[in-house]
Amino acid sequence: MGMCISRTQSQLEQKSEYQKCVVALVRHGQRADYAIDESIVYDISHDPPLTREGMWQAKLTGEALKKQFLEGGFEKVIIESSPFLRCIMTAAQICKEFQIDQFDINYIFSEKLTPNIYTYNPIDDLCIKKKDKKDIIQMYLDGVDFNDSKLFHSEIQQWYPENTKKAVQRTKLFNDQFIKEYKNSTKKVMHIVTTHGAFVTGFGELYYANNRAFNFCSITAIEFQGDQTSLLLDCYSQHIRLSDGKTMYDSNGKFFNHFSDY
């Protein structure tokens, strides 16, 4: 009996050594093709940049995540992004709030490659593939660097055309990687990913989230510790306000700039 109790206590002590880690998937800010009034010029039609409002939304998101990072006592932050321009611009603004000078591109977080949006796989026809890296950093990223790690690049080339079933499989794939990486972590890590609406909602649905009303810079966050997982944020958008200081919600709590795209 004593040995059994001792073993249980040892297991509990070992379990308590695992640190809480948070993975936050963030939808990009407002994209240029949704702001006709601004007449933003860009030459890759399927890879629009952020608007000024989108940049502001990304900055506010960085501020909100940095606040949680400090209050939560995290030891490390990792920032990754989809290769699409609107996502890397969002990631750059978050990096600036964390005073980080570089983030990684990970192709597994690319937009859902549905044939009704794309007539071909656009993954090698994006800004980061067509323009000089220095120009991208100067024109779009406020001097923040990025590392095109080529992670899942060959896989994403094979995933077009992608239907809902395939997108769910992709979500499960990166979720399995997060579980493997963080369930037994000895460091308290915040892992931030800038991606697209389908994956911000899909990630939450794996943990019984029910909010599918994703907005610009919505956040879905999951906490991992040992075998325990918790849904912390479900397409959360209340950190966002307009650049003139006004709230982006009406009196019923509905978001003004709601769109159901990716």
Show me where the domains of the chain are located. 19-236
pLDDT at 95 over 80: yes
Once rounded to an integer, what is the mean pLDDT over residues 135-146? 98
So what's the pLDDT on residue 164? 95
φ and ψ at residue 133, rounded to 5 degrees: -60, -45
- 17-25 mean pLDDT: 96
Q: Rounded to whole angstroms, what are the CA distances from 39 to 33, 127, 234?
A: 9, 19, 33
Q: Across residues 40-67, what is the average pLDDT?
A: 95
User: Is residue 255 pLDDT above 70, yes or no?
Assistant: no
Residue 110 burial (CB count, 10 A): 29
Question: Quick check: pTM over 0.85?
Answer: yes
Q: In this structure, which CATH number among 3.30.930.10, 3.40.50.620, 3.50.50.60, 3.40.50.1240 belongs to the domain 19-236?
A: 3.40.50.1240
